[in-house]
Amino acid sequence: MLEQPMRQCPNCKEYVPAEYVVCVWCGYDLTRDIEQELKKKGVKLSWIEALRRIWRVIRYPFEGIKEVSVFPDKKGPILILYIFSFLLTLQLNILIWKARYVTNQKYALWVGIIFQALYPFILLVLMMIGVAIISRLIYFVVNVLGGKTEKNAVNTLLVYSLSPLLITEGIATFLRLFYSKVEIDPITYTTVSNAFASWANSGLTVFINIIRIIGWIWAGFLFAYGLKRNAKISYFESGFVTVVFWAIALSTMFAF
């Protein structure tokens, strides 16, 4: 007769069958330690699986973010930040293209392609540094509030909650195509500042900013919900953390 594999309950130290999810002696949830280990180390996904996960968060926001709050990963956040950086670069490229003349020549297509290919990676590195700093600050604040989480889990949750911004920035990128073109004075370049000022004050930019604000509010709700589940803190506490750090993010975002 084969001996049944056993495991020791970390709470009462008694042994139970390995497949049990609850200790029969003390009622301890045996999946808790597995969950904590996954929160700490994360799960390994392929790039395609990470893309599917991002889509789940966009399509089924609260279900998707609940999954992320329990099982963090590393590839999804990189993809989200890269796509976000790509869209911001594309918007900047569109604005440069709309300002049609630079050094007395039309904006060369090859310059735009090289800029679009390289600049998102620079933004990606900067964003990853920024996210790492903010994640550690959130981790510190959550622990001060009595919550329990892991740095990797906070980092993953923070970036996945920004998934709605991929939709709103995609819309913003499309709308910027409708900005009017501007002729630049190749000697003084004064028209450049005038062009950006007129775009900034246009009704289209106001509409773009409204869409962006909706995206950030949507992302804020997701983060607060996920942080509450992940760190086992109250909605008030997770909401407080979200409002503080979202205010910092928004002030940076609208500087662009």
pLDDT digits (tens, 9 = 90+) for 167-224: 999 999 999 888 877 666 555 555 666 666 777 777 888 899 899 989 999 999 999 9
Q: Do 32 and 109 belong to one domain? A: no
Q: Do 163 and 128 belong to one domain? A: yes
**86 pLDDT band (50/70/90 cuts)?**
very high
The yes-or-no verdict on residue 99 having pLDDT over 60 is yes
Which amino acid, 72? P
Q: Copy the structure tokens of residue 89.
A: 């670069």
Handedness of CA 218, 220, 221, 225 (dihedral sign): positive
Q: Do 86 and 19 belong to one domain? A: no
The pLDDT score that the predictor gives to residue 1 is: 41
The pLDDT score that the predictor gives to residue 188 is: 54
Which amino acid, 116? Q
Q: Do 27 and 87 belong to one domain? A: no
Q: What are phi and psi of 77, to 5 degrees?
A: -60, -40
Q: Do 142 and 23 belong to one domain? A: no
CB atoms closer than 10 angstroms to residue 212: 19
Q: Do 157 and 54 belong to one domain? A: yes
Q: Which of 21-25, 153-157, 175-179, 186-190 has the lowest mean pLDDT?
A: 186-190
Helix axes 61-70, 47-59, angle to 10 degrees: 130
Q: Which residue has the higher pLDDT, 89 or 106?
A: 89
Query: How many domains does the chain contain in total?
Result: 2
Q: Do 233 and 115 belong to one domain? A: yes
The yes-or-no verdict on residue 107 having pLDDT over 70 is no
Q: Do 37 and 52 belong to one domain? A: no
What is each CA distance from 151 to 57, 195, 196, in whole angstroms? Answer: 20, 43, 40
The pLDDT score that the predictor gives to residue 100 is: 65
Q: Which residue, 15, 35, 37, is CA-closest to 26?
A: 15
Q: What is the mean pLDDT of residues 95-113?
A: 68
The yes-or-no verdict on residue 33 having pLDDT over 70 is no
Q: Which domain range does residue 29 map to?
A: 1-41
Mean pLDDT, all residues of the chain: 82
List the end-to-end C-alpha distance of the chain, in Å, as a whole number. 70
Percent of the chain with pLDDT over 70: 81
Rounded CA separation 28/21 (Å):
9
Q: Do 22 and 136 belong to one domain? A: no
Rounded CA separation 6/26 (Å):
16
Q: Do 115 and 9 belong to one domain? A: no
User: What residues contact 56, with CB distance under 8 A and at least 6 apart?
Assistant: 63, 64, 67
Q: Do 66 and 93 belong to one domain? A: yes
The pLDDT score that the predictor gives to residue 18 is: 74
Rounded CA separation 239/172 (Å):
27
Structural contact between residues 156 and 38, judged by C-beta atoms closer than 8 angstroms: no
Q: Do 158 and 64 belong to one domain? A: yes
**158 pLDDT band (50/70/90 cuts)?**
very high
Q: Copy the structure tokens of residue 144.
A: 């001060």
Query: E strands, 42-162, where?
Result: 101-102, 105-106
Q: Which residue, 206, 226, 220, 207, is CA-closest to 248?
A: 220
The pLDDT score that the predictor gives to residue 19 is: 72
